[in-house]
A and B are shown apart, each in its own frame.
Chain A
Amino acid sequence: MTPTAIGRVVVVGMLLFATTTTSGCSDTDPDLSPDPSTSAVVLSTSDETQGVSADLLDQVDRARSAEEDSAGDRMVTSGPARPSVIVEGGERRTMVIHDQSNMRLGSGSYTLTVYCAGTGVVVAAITFDGVTKLGGQQQCGASGLSVDETVVIQREAATQMDVSVIPVGETAAAIGYVVVRG
């Protein structure tokens, strides 16, 4: 088991216990060659399938965008507002966020800021080259926005960073995050 995998297991285990290839272009272009493992790509309106209101998602995205603007060149990555629950075929399912960056990440400090609006609790984790730092249990803001920061000091450069945000139990919230240097 890889260190990253161990981190995932630790995080998930803890929560269960608690309850193209275009080249040389400057614009972003989708590779229109479908991945073989994709069975279907059908556009649909997200409101029909999300278990979290659009207002909460907008609230998180406004805060996240503001942080992006203020971070400027210190910005590393930004995860848009996503619902902690989705509705598939009439069934509500918790959705765990996991994004991975494979790139050179120089030594220094990195701050993961998680935004949560709704009900329930989330736990965030940031992992550099397999070493995980857990955030606290973040109570989402029922009538506003909750913000939680996790700071990691990297003494050596890393080549992989993973960000996970895991909703606990029946959490129904909009979740977004940013990672900035410094």
Chain B
Amino acid sequence: MPDKRKKLAGGAAFATIATMLFGLATSAPASAESVHPTGTESCLDTGTHYVTTSKQDLFIGLGFKYKSGPGGTVHAAAQGSLTASAAVSITGGATLSAVVASFNGAFGVTGTVSATISSTYAYDHVVAAGKYGTLQFGNWGWTSSLKKYVVDSACNITSTVYGTVTKMPSVDTWGYKYTETSS
């Protein structure tokens, strides 16, 4: 594990800021250990942390697919309640609410653990001559890379694993996706 025993910069940075603001120390600490001595003060960053990167758009298809052709018009009927849920793929699992918080903070978007729409709407789309058209309702969300790491009480990173946010629904963006095929 390459990150094992790696020291976090955050603890030292906090101490430096505290010193500047409140004069809590008369000299700079010689090392991170002197800021958070093991057994006398807990690490502020203790726990599991998530980092999300490389966001991409994702259509989360829900409910029925409507297909029609060749040519003409494809019609999608209104449906009842549909829910799009966040999902991640990472060793050991993840706390979805914490992943969502990281995601929204990193990208400035409004992802959510679960987005529900109580009823959808009928929709029509012209199908090109000789083609088949398919309509599906869904949520316009995202996907991203995911990193999970754990910090112990001595501010050491004890494990780091990598995975994927496979689905991150948006709170408010819904609609239809139309695709056209030859058969």
Contact = CB atoms under 8 A, between A and B. Distances in A.
A28 B68 contact: yes
Nearest to A57: B121
Interface in B79-125: 79-85, 116-119, 121-125
Given A1-B55, A98-B140, A100-B59, A28 B74 contact: yes
A23 B132 contact: yes
A43 interface: yes
A67 B70 CA distance: 24
Interface residues of A, number: 56
Interface in B7-62: 55-57, 59-62
A5 B142 CA distance: 10
B175 A97 contact: yes
Interface in A56-106: 68, 75-82, 86-88, 93-104
Interface in A9-47: 20-23, 25-32, 34-35, 37-46
B150 interface: no
Contacts, number: 157
Contacts of B125: 77-78, 101
Chain B interface mostly helix, strand, loop or mixed?
strand
Contacts of A29: 66-68
B43 to A, nearest CB: 35
Contacts of B118: 44, 46, 48-49, 86-88
Contacts of B124: 68, 77-78, 80
Interface of A: 1-2, 4-5, 8, 20-23, 25-32, 34-35, 37-46, 48-50, 68, 75-82, 86-88, 93-104
Interface of B: 55-57, 59-70, 72-85, 116-119, 121-126, 128, 131-134, 136, 140, 167, 170-180, 183
